[in-house]
Homo-oligomer: A and B are copies of this chain.
Amino acid sequence: MTRHIVRDRARKLLEPVVGLLASAGVPPLLVSLAGLALSLYGAAAVAGGALALGAVLLLLAGLCDVLDGDLARRRGLAGPFGAFIDSTLDRVTEFAYFGGIILYLVNRPAGFRDYDVAVALLALAGSVLTSYARARAEGLGLHCKVGMMERPERIALLVLGLLFGYHVLVVVLTVMAAITMLTFVQRVVHVRRLSQADYTPTDS
């Protein structure tokens, strides 16, 4: 699987930074919150039409997201709350960014507004539903990590779309909507298969 290329590359690049933060005693939660702040500001920039600034801020926020987990592991602080807040803030970031993109698309004078907004909503729904399906399956004790497009790939695509402007952005959103929705359906089918293997229904 080529799934972790983006995350693994970022991780290797950031190794010295993790060492620096660890020896300075920086709490991982502070890095997570810095990432959240960068995302919220980036989303506001995108909403206001400053797409390139938004792309840079999203990229920096994505780096914080890799940093906080590695820092927690390095400092021996990795625990259930860290795992919880890390993925929860990831979802907050996704809502913020897609929200910013939708507000940008709504206010563009030209363009196919209904299509643009619908496809941005679908990409948002697909991204969040993919993560929700996994979290819900794990809550029921089922493993669920199948799928083609994880968060680092989604961020890389969005950054590209923001850098190249409106038309590329809408193409990127269309691709994301299709792939994330497919991944979501894949996960639902996967959970169905897993739970049928474990349980025999009383009839049918």
Which residues of A approach B to under 8 Å, CB–CB? 27, 75-77, 79-81, 83-85, 87-88, 91-92, 95, 99, 102-103, 106-107, 113-114, 117-118, 121-122, 124-125, 128-129, 131-133, 135-142, 188, 191-192, 195-196, 198-199, 201-204
Contact = CB atoms under 8 A, between A and B. Distances in A.
A121 B139 contact: no
- Copy tally for this chain in the complex stands at 2
A81 B135 contact: no
29 contacts: A27-B204, A75-B203, A76-B202, A79-B199, A79-B201, A81-B196, A83-B140, A84-B140, A84-B195, A87-B136, A88-B133, A88-B136, A91-B128, A92-B129, A95-B124, A95-B128, A99-B118, A99-B125, A102-B102, A102-B117, A103-B114, A103-B117, A103-B118, A103-B121, A132-B135, A135-B139, A136-B139, A138-B139, A139-B139
A21 B79 CA distance: 46
Tell me whether chain A's interface is mostly helix, strand or loop, or mixed.
helix
Given A103-B118, A107-B114, 15 more contacts: A75-B203, A77-B203, A79-B195, A80-B199, A81-B191, A81-B195, A81-B196, A84-B137, A92-B129, A95-B125, A102-B117, A103-B121, A128-B128, A136-B139, A138-B139
Interface centre among A76, A113, A114, A195 (most CB of B within 10 A): A195
A41 to B, nearest CB: 16
Nearest to A121: B99
Contacts of A195: 79-81, 84
A75 to B, nearest CB: 8
